Amino acid sequence: MSKAIEITNLTHKYTQSGAQEVVAVSDVNLSIEKGESIGIIGHTGSGKSTLISHFNGLLKPTSGDVVVDGTNIWADKETLRNARFKVGLCFQYPEYQLFEETVYKDIAFGPKNMKLSPEEIDERVLRAAEFTGISKSMLEKSPFELSGGEKRRAAIAGVIAMNPEVIVLDEPAAGLDPAGRKSLIDMIKAYRDSTGSTVIMVTHNMEDIARIAERLIVINRGKIALDGTVDEVFSRSDDLVQWGLKVPEITEVFTRLHNMGCNVPRGVYTVDEGVKILSRVMRGGAGLG
């Protein structure tokens, strides 16, 4: 079976007149299996958005290849078009994705481009809206009337309405409060569970990523600094600091408790998990039990 995405020797340089050339992605090799749930983390400016914008051909490599589902997406126009439907990209700033008069039209934009029948388009819009918690009345509003969280949901609805095999989300929970973040991440998780799609998420938030990803890729200065399971990556806290990142606070707390001799495990990555363990310990049971 072909891989969901296969990237070889990908380099992307930005050139602007009068400005110095920036090498945002530098000779990256990356292979993503179908159905994987991947987190991409890295300091501001490390090249995350540039990298993922190659997954559906939004950016063209300066050099290197991008193969989606076994086909080089730059082979011809038709292949590129199909790659845009297969790999749904949710932008870092939802404002860039929402531009129609109504939320309904925005969500319908992708399915319309796919040249589906009006009935199918309507069905897809309503299904995506329901899944993302966009109410019927919200569908008739202008996207500019929505709150930050609603805009994110509308942008995600527009992507999932295309039924993509791969969904790529760039900082989907940025700017939301903790409850908003959690419900958004839970929604993405539910989407993956119900569709089996490949999910790739970029975030600065280590707790968010621990909730959803199985594999983590650390980007530093346009290169892959580390690629491994969540446990593998989070156990390298000294290296993470070097790359401008750090493990979740809750993980540090549990590592210290563990090192002090408390009967609690190390790899605890979310506050929910930490609370469960502590309440067991306080009831007299072992934290590990």
Q: What are 101's two structure tokens?
A: 């008069």
Footprint on residues 136-195 left by ligand ATP (CB under 6 A): none
Label residue 223 exposed, middle or buried (CB < 10 Å: 0-12, 13-18, 19+): middle
**16 near ligand ATP (CB under 6 A):** yes
Give all strands (DSSP E) within the chain, no chain letters. 5-14, 22-32, 37-42, 63-68, 71-72, 87-90, 166-170, 198-202, 215-220, 223-229
Which residue matches tokens 């491994």?
Answer: 228
Q: How many CB atoms lie within 10 A of CB 261?
A: 7
Q: Which stretch binds ligand ATP (CB under 6 A): 46-54, 113-121, 129-137, 228-236?
A: 46-54
Within 8 A by CB and 6+ apart from 222, the residues are 23, 24, 25, 26, 28, 46, 47, 50
Figure out which of the listed residues 49, 56, 203, 205 binds Mg ion, where binding follows CB under 5 A. Answer: 49
**24 near ligand ATP (CB under 6 A):** yes
Counting every residue written for the chain, the total comes to 289
Beta strand 5-14 with 22-32 is: antiparallel
Q: Which stretch binds ligand ATP (CB under 6 A): 40-48, 114-122, 193-201, 242-250?
A: 40-48
Footprint on residues 68-97 left by Mg ion (CB under 5 A): 92
Label residue 123 exposed, middle or buried (CB < 10 Å: 0-12, 13-18, 19+): middle
Cross-strand pairs, 42: 219
Q: Which is nearer to ligand ATP, 49 or 132 (CB)?
A: 49
Figure out which of the listed residues 3, 8, 13, 14 binds ligand ATP, where binding follows CB under 6 A. Answer: 14
Q: How far is CA 87 from the centre of its chain?
A: 12
Q: Which is nearer to ligand ATP, 37 or 49 (CB)?
A: 49
**47 near ligand ATP (CB under 6 A):** yes
Could you tell me the smallest distance in angstroms from the CB atom of residue 62 to Mg ion? Answer: 18
Q: Which is nearer to ligand ATP, 21 or 145 (CB)?
A: 21
**93 near ligand ATP (CB under 6 A):** no
Q: Which is nearer to ligand ATP, 161 or 218 (CB)?
A: 218
Could you tell me the smallest distance in angstroms from the CB atom of residue 83 to ligand ATP? Answer: 20
**274 near ligand ATP (CB under 6 A):** no
Q: Which is nearer to ligand ATP, 42 or 274 (CB)?
A: 42
Site residues for ligand ATP per CB under 6 A: 14, 16, 22, 24, 42, 44-50, 92
